[in-house]
């Protein structure tokens, strides 16, 4: 079987993921961070540690799990932006970024600037910096496009943003997490949104985000923590502050395996893979080392 649409959802899943989910269904019940069972808690925490290592960030507690990248992006965009803020984003964003932004433009008077891309779908990092105004609080960049596979120079954008401490940086790593290295010591992003069902090789209904521990945003959901129930307000501790409600237990198998199974570098270095797809557009970019060899809409 030939399955080309691996960028919208990876398939087949590794046997470890299938067996892991099955074993959880058969042998476990309960919530991480709530029960006394260290087995469950530890597996979730292990996954946090692996994702933190994958992104080269210091604290596993700064990794928050969600249901998918769309939920992560909505949480960050909704939770961070205040009325009158200005956002710089690009012409090549996924609708999981575009729609929350356009809604906030209407509802909270958020001003939006869309930086253009060139014929390869590449953003010029200088255009991002030039679009910043004194009201800019957030820059959002799609690390790799789901349509063209183009990988953006997020390191250069992150580096230049260091001169603007009030401007936070969100990268949408939905297409890249698990595919290509994401070293946040170099990118210096304040938020990294990721999904589990693509290159992290997990099941669907799994995602998350990294949040700079120095930043607090308004959680999308509150309550349902199952601990500290005497509090009338959401507990402040991380990651509980942002993880409300009973989670999909099997979400933890994402990353647990995906982070350790780098497959792309080999394919990535082999432009033939793209040639066989007869997809000249993507091939051109892969040859120049700046696109993933897969794309989806």
Ligand X SMILES: Cc1ncc(COP(=O)(O)O)c(C=O)c1O
Q: Encoding tokens for residue 226? A: 């199952």
Closest CA to 57 of 206, 147, 177: 177
Q: Which two tokens stand for residue 190?
A: 């304040």
Question: Which one, 88 or 225, has the nearer CB to ligand X?
Answer: 88
CB of 250 to ligand X, least distance (A): 15
Q: How far is CA 205 from CA 199, 242, 261, 269, 293, in A?
A: 14, 17, 20, 30, 24
CB closer to ligand X, 47 vs 146: 146
Minimum distance of ligand X from residue 170's CB (angstroms): 11
Q: What is the Cα gyration radius of the chain?
A: 19
Query: Scanning the structure block, which residue is given the tokens 């979400």?
Result: 251
The residue (of 175 and 274) whose beta carbon lies closer to ligand X is: 175
* Residue number, 62 or 142, with CB nearest to ligand X: 142
CB of 251 to ligand X, least distance (A): 12
Shortest Å distance, C-beta 150 to ligand X: 11
Angle at 122 between CA 120 and CA 123, to 5 degrees: 155
Q: Min. distance of Cβ 166 from ligand X in angstroms?
A: 25
Min separation Cβ 209 and ligand X, Å: 11
Residues that bind ligand X (CB under 6 A): 8, 68-70, 94, 96, 142, 146, 172, 174-175, 195, 207, 296
CB 3 within 8 Å of CB 11: yes
Helix axes 95-108, 69-80, angle to 10 degrees: 30
Taking the C-alpha atoms of residue 79 and residue 64, their distance in angstroms, rounded to an integer, is: 14
Q: Are 254 and 47 in contact (CB under 8 A)?
A: yes
């Amino acid at each position: 079987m030939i399955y080309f649409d691996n960028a919208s959802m990876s398939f087949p899943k590794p046997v470890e993921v299938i067996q892991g989910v099955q074993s959880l269904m058969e042998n476990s019940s309960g919530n991480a961070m709530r029960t006394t069972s260290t087995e469950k808690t530890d597996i979730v925490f292990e996954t946090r540690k692996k994702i933190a290592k994958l992104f080269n960030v210091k604290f596993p507690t700064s990794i928050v799990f969600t249901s998918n990248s769309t939920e992560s992006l909505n949480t960050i965009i909704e939770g961070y932006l205040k009325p009158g803020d200005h956002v710089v984003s690009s012409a090549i964003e996924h609708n999981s970024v575009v729609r929350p932004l356009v809604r906030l433009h209407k509802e909270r008077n958020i001003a939006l600037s869309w930086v253009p891309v060139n014929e390869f779908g590449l953003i010029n990092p200088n255009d991002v910096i030039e679009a910043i105004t004194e009201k800019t609080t957030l820059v959002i960049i799609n690390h790799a496009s789901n349509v063209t596979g183009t990988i953006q120079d997020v390191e250069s954008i992150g580096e230049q943003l260091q001169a603007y401490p009030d401007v936070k940086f969100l990268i949408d790593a939905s297409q890249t997490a698990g595919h290509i290295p994401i070293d946040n010591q170099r990118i210096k992003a304040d938020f990294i949104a990721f999904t589990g069902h693509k290159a992290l090789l997990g099941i669907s209904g799994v995602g998350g985000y990294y949040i700079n521990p120095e930043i607090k945003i308004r959680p999308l959901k509150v309550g349902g923590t199952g601990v500290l129930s005497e509090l009338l307000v959401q507990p402040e501790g991380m990651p509980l502050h942002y993880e409300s409600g009973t989670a999909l237990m099997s979400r933890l198998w994402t990353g647990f395996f995906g982070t350790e199974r780098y497959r792309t570098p080999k394919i990535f270095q082999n432009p033939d893979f793209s040639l066989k797809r007869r997809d000249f557009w993507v091939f051109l970019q892969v040859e120049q080392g700046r696109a993933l060899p897969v794309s989806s809409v």
